[in-house]
């Protein structure tokens, strides 16, 4: 994700400025490998990792799974290493490279499935972050970086010239906006759930939109339009481009004139394109995030394998191999933008192709982008049920606001990420709010873009969120409310949409006359239908809520229980839970 800041960050021993303690830094990882090997960097100098010519009989064999874009370059490097008799402890290093989509390897590792490889080079460290964040059952250790490539928007020449390429520069928001005006310029991208390039670009777009009034809604609307021209993978989005400059190809509605693409992918495309059909590259002036191709070991390696892995990554940092990587369209230094690579990708001055990568997107920003994308692509039908018991008037330390005040602000932020096609509703609950009922429907679950007297559904929800207030002396009628809301959600299931029920509570059930927890769980299980999934997402807010109870109740529906210490975290946690629930639905 472009997390490099020092010129020596590539290769073993390079520096990793990431602040998150859960990730081992490259330097630490390198020390680990060397420790396993029983030596230090001095082993290289002393001849422990030496060159030799009588090593082919018993080589150290390593399987390396690599992102498909960099697999050809690594295959060429591995073949050259074998021809040159590169050795570790007097034994040849024999690396076999297999192209595998990064998301597929990450999914397998997260599920505890060992890949048929001891080494892994995904296209971005976000895949490694995802595994290490969840403390997965298989150890993945980054030990350096192989190369990098910035992400921009590539266009066929006629489209690029219509936007003033190369002299005119754009921000992400302006560039995507310009590319999506009308049907004259069709913009495609790879699915951000499967593509690091797609996710990083959309996160950068969302970050840019956040600085503008109504930016969240604007970004969501752009995602909605973009989702209609999304391909499953990076290679497939490239295939949507016209392969020649004929009017038939350019006019084909299934073809894109512009795509979110890495510099290396544009370079590779141009190298194989017919004359006159190459791409021109826009580099957004507010920064091009980068794919960074981390080199990682997978699970436990033997001493010989650890030494051979270190030997191979050090070999990749030799001048001849750096030139090889550049030949395939990659950058090998954050300080330089090779002119041949930039020109081959369709870059030209004054496009800001040499600008430093922007500050890496945080895990929260990436997760929120995925959440927004999930509900944008599928469209959503979500009923939100908010605790209005008196305890919601308790202050949130350090904010000067009550739990309810902060909750309302977080819900309004979340509302801005939904599009006019999404259906959202609002209930509140305490005890005996509506006669004997513990709950009350404030806004029925309907399409946000629908117009009624007084404005749109979005307007009514915004007003209802803002008007939420704790009920004086009100207790928490959690169980009866949960059952009633889930019955309503399942009976009004909308086919083709992501259906879910979100319940926010800051306490445990306090209604002695309600259904019991075991009976509630039994009833929820009976209402659950795998063919019509409606996951319950229950968020326990503050110190008095019970996370374990929330998990137990929600899991009965295939949903999840979450907890936040501060209501301001609700938006992020809710979107994260939606992503997780949406992923289960895809399976």
Which candidate, 380, 384, 386, 492, places its Cα nearest to that of 447?
380
Q: Which residues share a beta bridge with 541?
A: 564
Closest C-alpha to 438, from 510, 488, 382, 383: 510
- Which has the minimum average pLDDT: 38-42, 122-126, 163-167? 38-42
State pLDDT tens for residues 491-527.
Answer: 999 998 889 999 999 989 999 999 999 999 999 999 9
Tell me the CA distances in angstroms from 218 to 4, 190, 252, 530, one per residue in order.
30, 20, 28, 34
Beta carbons of 353 and 183 less than 8 angstroms apart: no
Label the pairing between strands 395-396 and 401-402. Answer: antiparallel
Token pair 């399409």 is found at: 447
Euclidean distance between CA atoms 486 and 208, whole angstroms: 37
- Region 376-402: mean pLDDT is 90
What's the CA gap between 118 and 139, in Å, rounded?
11
Predicted pLDDT at 183: 60
Query: Residues 551-579: what's their mean pLDDT?
Result: 86
For 183, other C-beta atoms within 10 Å of its C-beta total 7
What is the Cα–Cα distance from 78 to 134, expressed in whole angstroms?
32
The dihedrals phi and psi of 460, each to the nearest 5 degrees, come to -65, -40
Place of tokens 């004259």: 184
Kindly indicate the confidence band of residue 55, based on its pLDDT and cuts at 50, 70 and 90: low
b/e map 492-525, b = 16+ CB within 10 Å? eebeebbbbbbbbbbbebbbeebbebeebbebbe
- 87-88 and 91-99: which strand pairing? antiparallel
What confidence score (pLDDT) does residue 198 get? 94
Distance of CA 274 to the CA centre of its chain: 34
Q: Compute φ and ψ for 276, nearest 5 degrees.
A: 90, -5
Mean pLDDT, rounded, for 102-122: 92
Average pLDDT of the chain? 85
Mean of pLDDT values over 290-301: 95
- Residue of 368, 338, 323, 6 lying closest to 150 (CA atoms): 338
What pTM does this model have? 0.70
Residue 498 exposure: Cα atoms within 13 Å on the Cβ side? 28
Q: Which two tokens stand for residue 583?
A: 């992923």
Q: Which residue(s) pair with 291 in the sheet?
A: 149
pLDDT given for residue 374 in this prediction: 77
Rounded to an integer, what distance in angstroms lies between the CA atom of residue 343 and that of residue 335?
17
What pLDDT shows up at residue 260? 95
pLDDT-based confidence at residue 276 (cuts at 50, 70, 90): low
Beta bridge partners of 446: 424
335-359: pLDDT as tens digits: 889 999 999 999 999 999 999 888 8
Antiparallel, parallel or unpaired: β 380-387 and 423-434: parallel
Entry field: residues in the chain: 587
Provide the CA 498 distance to its chain's centre, in angstroms. Answer: 19
Q: Residue 31: is it exposed, middle or buried by C-beta count within 10 angstroms (0-12/13-18/19+)?
A: middle
Q: Please tell me the distance from the alpha carbon of residue 360 to that of residue 257, in angstroms, as a whole number.
A: 29
Per the CB < 8 A criterion, the answer to whether 151 and 288 are in contact is yes
pLDDT band at 54 (very low <50, low <70, confident <90, very high): low
Separation of first and last alpha carbons in the chain? 27
DSSP line for 66-122 = E-TTTHHHHHHHHHHHHHTTBEETTEEEEEEEEE--HHHHHHHHHTTPPPS-SEEE-
**Higher pLDDT pick, 446 / 410:** 446
Distance CA 521, CA 131 (A): 31
Structure confidence at residue 252 (pLDDT): 63
Closest CA to 240 of 186, 294, 304: 186
Residue that has been written with the tokens 């007003």 in this structure? 463
Cα 98 from chain centroid (whole Å)? 24
pLDDT at 466: 95
Residues of the chain with pLDDT > 70, as a percent, come to: 85
| pLDDT > 90? residue 173 | no
Q: Is the peptide bond before 297 cis (omega within 30 degrees of 0)?
A: no
């Amino acid at each position: 994700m472009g997390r490099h800041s020092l010129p020596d960050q590539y290769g073993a021993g390079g520096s990793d400025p990431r602040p998150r303690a859960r990730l081992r830094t490259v330097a630490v990882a390198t020390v680990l490998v060397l420790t396993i090997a029983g030596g230090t960097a001095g082993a290289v100098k002393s001849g422990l990792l030496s060159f030799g010519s009588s090593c082919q009989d018993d080589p150290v064999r390593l399987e390396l799974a690599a992102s498909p874009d960099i697999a050809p370059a690594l295959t060429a490097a591995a073949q050259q290493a074998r021809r040159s008799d590169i050795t570790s402890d007097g034994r040849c290093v024999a690396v076999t490279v297999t192209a595998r989509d990064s998301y597929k390897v990450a999914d397998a590792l997260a599920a505890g499935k060992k890949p048929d490889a001891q080494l892994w080079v995904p296209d971005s460290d976000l895949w490694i972050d995802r595994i290490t964040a969840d403390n997965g059952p298989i150890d993945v250790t980054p030990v350096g970086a192989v190369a990098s490539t910035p992400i921009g928007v590539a266009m066929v020449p006629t489209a690029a010239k219509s936007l003033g390429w190369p002299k005119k520069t754009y921000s992400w928001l302006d560039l995507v906006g310009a590319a999506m005006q009308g049907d004259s310029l069709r913009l495609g991208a790879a699915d951000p759930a499967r593509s690091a390039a797609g996710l990083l670009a959309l996160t950068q777009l969302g970050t840019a939109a956040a600085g503008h009034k109504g930016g969240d809604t604007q970004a969501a609307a752009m995602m909605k339009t973009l989702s209609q021209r999304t391909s499953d993978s990076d290679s497939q989005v490239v295939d949507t481009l016209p392969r020649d400059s004929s009017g038939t190809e350019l006019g084909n509605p299934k073809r894109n004139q512009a795509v979110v693409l890495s510099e290396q992918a544009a370079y590779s495309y141009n190298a194989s394109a017919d004359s006159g059909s190459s791409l021109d590259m826009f580099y957004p002036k507010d920064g091009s995030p980068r794919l960074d191709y981390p080199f990682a070991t997978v699970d436990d390696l033997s001493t010989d394998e650890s030494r051979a892995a270190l030997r191979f990554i050090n070999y990749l940092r030799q001048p001849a191999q750096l030139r090889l990587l550049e030949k395939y369209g990659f950058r090998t230094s954050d300080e330089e933008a090779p002119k041949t690579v930039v020109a081959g990708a369709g870059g030209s001055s004054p496009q800001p192709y040499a600008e430093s990568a922007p500050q890496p997107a945080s895990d929260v920003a990436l997760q929120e982008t995925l959440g927004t994308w999930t509900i944008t692509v599928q469209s959503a039908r979500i009923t939100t049920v908010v605790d209005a018991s008196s305890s919601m008037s308790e202050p949130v330390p350090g904010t000067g606001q009550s739990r309810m005040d902060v909750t309302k602000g977080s819900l309004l932020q979340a509302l801005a990420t939904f599009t006019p096609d999404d259906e959202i509703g609002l209930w509140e609950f305490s005890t005996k709010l509506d006669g004997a009922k513990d709950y009350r429907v404030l806004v029925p679950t309907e399409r946000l873009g629908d117009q009624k007297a007084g404005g749109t559904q979005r307007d009514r929800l915004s007003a209802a969120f803002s008007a939420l207030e704790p009920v004086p002396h009100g207790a928490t009628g959690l169980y009866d409310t949960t059952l009633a809301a889930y019955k309503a959600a399942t009976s009004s299931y909308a086919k083709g949409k992501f259906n879910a029920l979100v319940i926010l509570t800051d306490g445990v059930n306090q209604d002695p006359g309600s259904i019991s927890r075991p009976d509630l769980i039994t009833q929820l299980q009976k209402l659950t239908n795998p063919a019509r999934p409606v996951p319950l997402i229950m968020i326990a807010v503050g110190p008095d809520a019970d996370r374990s109870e929330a998990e137990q109740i929600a899991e009965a529906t295939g949903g999840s229980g979450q907890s936040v210490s501060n209501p301001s975290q609700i938006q992020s946690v809710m979107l994260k839970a939606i992503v997780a629930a949406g992923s289960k639905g895809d399976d």
